[in-house]
């Protein structure tokens, strides 16, 4: 898989409704995973969307999630840019450059879903999500 760049939207508890709406607008295939799907111990998070992805026949990709409990909802600060793929060296290189002089919110490291993931805010205030997919075997 080549690396790809796409918008990542953040919602205040209504991610499923929003992503289903966008699915109705653009068509395609929608995949939704909740915090509960990944074994989050907090029952109040069980039905909240940890990650969703809409892929359309036109090649559009839109991702979204509900905010994690420790993140404040601030309208206008609800979009970030996602870099994802399986070329670990390429994506780690992007991460190093994007995070330099910025603020690392989540270090780029293996996560509970198996991928390497990190989140940073670059020196210009743009939030970046980097996900390195692990080989499927």
List the domain boundaries for the chain. Answer: 4-132
3-state secondary structure of 97: helix
3-state secondary structure of 29: strand
* The pair of three-digit structure tokens given for residue 92, joined into one six-digit string: 């780690």
| Residue % of the chain over a pLDDT of 70 | 99
Identify the DSSP state of 113.
T
What are 12-51's pLDDT values in tens digits? 899 999 999 899 988 999 999 998 898 877 788 889 999 9
Residue 55 has pLDDT above 80, yes or no: yes
Q: Please tell me the distance from the alpha carbon of residue 105 to that of residue 60, in angstroms, as a whole number.
A: 27
Work out the average pLDDT over 65-82.
Answer: 84
* The pair of three-digit structure tokens given for residue 107, joined into one six-digit string: 């270090």
**Residue 137 confidence class, pLDDT cut points 50, 70, 90:** low
**Residue 71 confidence class, pLDDT cut points 50, 70, 90:** confident
Q: Across all residues in the chain, what is the average pLDDT?
A: 90
Work out the average pLDDT over 55-76.
Answer: 86
pTM for this one?
0.73
Residue 122 has pLDDT above 80, yes or no: yes
pLDDT confidence of residue 119: 96
Residue 73 has pLDDT above 70, yes or no: yes
Answer for the pair 129, 119: CB distance below 8 angstroms, yes or no: yes
**Residue 124 confidence class, pLDDT cut points 50, 70, 90:** confident
Q: Is the dihedral of CA 31, 113, 133, 130 positive or negative?
A: positive
CATH number for the 4-132 domain, one of 1.10.510.10, 3.10.180.10, 3.60.21.10, 3.40.50.720? 3.10.180.10
């Amino acid at each position: 898989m080549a690396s790809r760049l796409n918008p990542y939207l953040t919602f205040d508890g209504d991610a499923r409704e929003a992503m289903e709406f966008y699915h109705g607008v653009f068509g395609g295939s929608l995949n939704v995973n909740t915090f509960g799907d990944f074994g989050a111990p907090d029952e109040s998070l069980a039905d909240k969307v940890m990650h969703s992805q809409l892929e359309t026949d036109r090649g559009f990709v839109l991702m979204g999630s509900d905010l994690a409990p420790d993140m404040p909802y601030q309208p206008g600060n609800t979009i970030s840019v996602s870099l994802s793929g399986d070329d670990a060296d390429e994506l780690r290189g992007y991460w190093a450059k994007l995070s330099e002089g910025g603020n690392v919110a989540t270090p780029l490291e293996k996560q509970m879903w198996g991928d390497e993931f990190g989140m940073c805010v670059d020196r210009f205030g743009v939030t970046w999500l980097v996900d390195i997919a692990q080989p499927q075997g």
